Amino acid sequence: MSGVLQAGLLKKDQRVKDTVLVKLLESLICSICHDLMFVPVMTQCGHNYCYDCLSSWFDSNSNELSCPQCRASISDPPSLNSVLQQWLVHIIELVGPDEDSEEFKTLLSAKESSEKSYRFDEKNDLFGGVFKTSAMGVVDEDDDGILRCSNCHWELEDDVGDTCPHCNSRIRSRMSQPRRGGFEDEEDEEDGDEDSETGSDMELEDDISRSLVHYRLRVRELADTLRRDRGHNDRQLFMQGTTAAGVPFYFPDYALYLSTDYSLSEEERSRRLRLVRNLESELEEDSPNSPGHGHTHSYFNPRTHNHQYEDDEVSEDTDHIDMDYDDDRDDMDDMDDDHAPRDDPEGGIIDLEAEVDEDEDEGSGRDSAESGHDSDYYERHDGGFVSGDSLDDAPVGEDALEDEEDEDQEDQEDQEEDNSDDSHDRQESSHRRKRFHVVLDSEDE
């Protein structure tokens, strides 16, 4: 086949041949430095750059490694494009004997130094080691919804910098995309501003689910700060307020949070609110067992949506969908109990400690039966399997925090204590627990 093309091209007049030659030379030009690529490297999305140029772009933009041309996120180290490199070498060899200008000498020395710098880095760390020591921040909604380092699964708190406090990996794409890979991230980002205003409801739902993850982290952080700063060990209250219309509200309410986000246009706000409400009512229909609490408490409800979208994307999860979905809904019901003002002895103020107790309780039931490998989170990260025990090595001072957040990874001992303490809570949610056990049984088979 190539013969046809070659013969056809040779028959063309000089102008066409020149065009082809110019195009060929253009393909050897780096779009960052606009000069010849002596050491061309190709990203996983197929774009070529000088090794040095791409390396300094990664260096200056290391939070989110992306391709300069198509903005696709880059997770694998770009590799040497030896075909392009050879082309350039051929051309230089053909031209070389007739050239002894200063410019050509400069070109040769530039080539030499580019190759030298690549060879040096090849022996040490290519791209300044960004691919060796970096990790992504991942959130597993099926597990505990905590942002974690993809390398060691250490919990990443909002106030730590760009590196994981446990394994010192640099965290790329921190916070911005909970657990989605490659191109999709980038497309979302590119669509960015325009699409958040005009995108389809599906996209908006994704957007809301993601905002919710951020929101939850922030609320948790607030709760932790309150607890730490005021030194209370007793019950800690959450915020309460009143809307302009005189309706009382409780802070962990996502719909309300959204309705006060004035960076959005009014139309957009009401559109998003409508979506959140829809997600809420879907949940209500889905779980007839859930207690009939007020509609304002939608804080955790959009999580159902999260499941749907994650399940769609991660096909190897299929076996676990039913289990995860149900058991998480239990979780949500429990949470919602806590946030429903009518259940609260303190006159409608949200009680954070109650939430914590409930979580511990929940965690105990789950772990004893599932021996620590319930979560598909760990299964997805081959080679990085972390058992529940390793998480219990945390400093004593953080116990409360761990208890609250690592509901799935409680130590067996702790659970037995909790079991006796929380027998009351246990009864309250026994109908849910039953359902939970049934699911576990099927899992065991």
Residue from 42, 44, 57, 80 touching another protein (CB under 8 A): that is 57
In whole angstroms, the minimum distance from the beta carbon of 417 to another protein comes to 48
Token duo for residue 182:
């490659």
Amino acid at 112: E
Token readout for 87 is: 């082309």
Three-state secondary-structure class, residue 349 = coil
Give 19 or 243: the residue with its C-beta nearer to another protein.
19
The pair of structure tokens assigned to 280 is 């809420």
Q: Is 108 in the site for another protein (CB under 8 A)?
A: no
Check: CB of residue 287 under 8 Å from CB of residue 276. no
Side-chain-side CA neighbours of 200 within 13 Å: the count stands at 3
Query: In the set 19, 27, 31, 430, which binds another protein (CB under 8 A)?
Result: 31
Determine which helix (DSSP H) or strand (DSSP E) holds 240, and give its type and residue range: strand 240-242
Nearest approach in angstroms of CB 188 to another protein is: 12
- Indicate the residue among 120 and 262 with the shorter CB distance to another protein: 262
Is 288 in contact with 313 (CB distance < 8 Å)?
no
Of the residues 76, 158, 197, 201, which one makes contact with another protein according to CB under 8 A = 197
- Written as one letter, the residue type at 132 is K
33 is a contact residue toward another protein (CB under 8 A): yes
- The least distance separating another protein from the CB of residue 196, rounded to whole angstroms, comes to 9
Among the listed residues 53, 126, 340, 354, the single contact to another protein using CB under 8 A: 53
Q: How far is the CB of 31 from another protein (least distance, A)?
A: 4
Which of 93, 193, 285, 445 binds another protein (CB under 8 A)? It is 193
Per the rule left: phi > 0, alpha: psi between -120 and 50, beta: everything else, 372 is left
CB of 68 to another protein, least distance (A): 4
217's enclosing H/E stretch is helix 201-230
- Of residues 56 and 308, the one with the C-beta less far from another protein: 56
| Region 312-331 residues binding another protein, contact defined as CB under 8 A | none
The crossing angle, in degrees rounded to 10, of helices 51-60 and 102-123 is 60
In angstroms, the CA 57 to CA 60 distance is: 5
Residues in contact with another protein, shown as a per-residue x/- string from 58 to 97 under the rule CB under 8 A: -xxx----x-xx-x--------------------------
Three-state secondary-structure class, residue 274:
helix
Q: Does 44 bind another protein (CB under 8 A)?
A: no
The span of 4-12, 261-269, 272-280, 384-392 binding another protein (CB under 8 A) equals: 261-269
For another protein, the binding residue among 12, 21, 27, 35 (CB under 8 A) is: 35
Q: Which is nearer to another protein, 47 or 433 (CB)?
A: 47
Q: Say whether residue 26 binds another protein (CB under 8 A).
A: no
Q: Does 194 bind another protein (CB under 8 A)?
A: yes
Closest CA to 380 of 309, 315, 332, 304: 315
Q: Rule CB under 8 A: is residue 32 a binding residue for another protein?
A: yes
The answer to whether residue 166 forms part of the interface with another protein (CB under 8 A) is: no
- Asked if residue 227 lies in contact with residue 400, where contact means CB atoms within 8 angstroms, the answer is yes
Q: What is the dihedral angle through the alpha carbons of 48, 66, 149, 179, rounded to the nearest 10 degrees? A: -110
- Cα separation of 51 and 32, whole Å? 11
- The CA radius of gyration of the chain, in Å to the nearest whole number, is 28
Report the DSSP pairing between strands 170-172 and 134-139: parallel
Of 52-60, 293-301, 353-361, 368-376, which segment contacts another protein by CB under 8 A?
Answer: 52-60
Which residues of this protein are in contact with another protein, per CB under 8 A? Answer: 31-35, 53, 56-57, 59-61, 66, 68-69, 71, 189-190, 192-194, 197, 264-265, 268
